[in-house]
Amino acid sequence: MATVFTKIINGEIPSYKIAEDENFIAFLDINPNAKGHTLCVPKQEVDKIFDLGEHVYLQLMQFSRKVALALRKAVPCERVGMAVIGLEVPHVHVHLIPINEMKDMTFDHKVTLSEAEFKELAAEISSHIS
């Protein structure tokens, strides 16, 4: 069965999209640790990051860096934290999280955003993608 992220990639379910190219997509995490929490996802449906081929893995890092640089311009923060977990969705994704303190990287600390805030954030981050 297709993962929820493949459904997003295929346009079957909505997302707050930030960037997309032939092989990768970035969109806002729907249950964010912090404002601007973004997921970078390869379109290839692979569960575990270190099972990606080396080339796709390196491309994912390159894509994630591009998104992180845009994120840091759009959302004031101390730095952008990066994590790979994958216990909930078995489809590789890099979490990019604007952080100011350690708790922003803990996945039991969540913030609530309205649909309007998600839309505005996605547009703002997207506008800084080079």
Question: Residue 100 in contact with residue 78, Cβ under 8 Å?
Answer: yes
Q: Which is nearer to ligand AMP, 83 or 130 (CB)?
A: 83
Whether 32 and 111 have beta carbons less than 8 Å apart is answered as: yes
Q: Which of 9, 15, 18, 74 binds ligand AMP (CB under 6 A)?
A: 15
Q: Any contact of residue 89 with ligand AMP (CB under 6 A)?
A: yes
Active-site residue, 93 included: yes
Strands of the sheet containing 24-28, edge to edge, are 17-20, 24-28, 38-42, 94-99, 79-83
DSSP-derived secondary structure letter, 102: G
Q: In the set 2, 58, 61, 85, which binds ligand AMP (CB under 6 A)?
A: 85
From candidates 88, 108, 112, 130, binder to ligand AMP by CB under 6 A: 88
Q: Which of 93, 95, 109, 128 is catalytic?
A: 93
Size of the site for ligand AMP (CB under 6 A): 11
Rounded CA gap, 35 and 76, in Å? Answer: 10
Residues 6+ apart with CB under 8 A from 14: 8
Distances (CA, A) of 125 to 12, 33, 88: 23, 17, 25
Write the interaction track for ligand AMP spanning residues 36-75; mark x where CB under 6 A is met and - where it is not. ---x------------------------------------
Which residue numbers are catalytic?
A: 93
Per CB under 6 A, residues contacting ligand AMP are 4, 15, 29-31, 39, 85-89
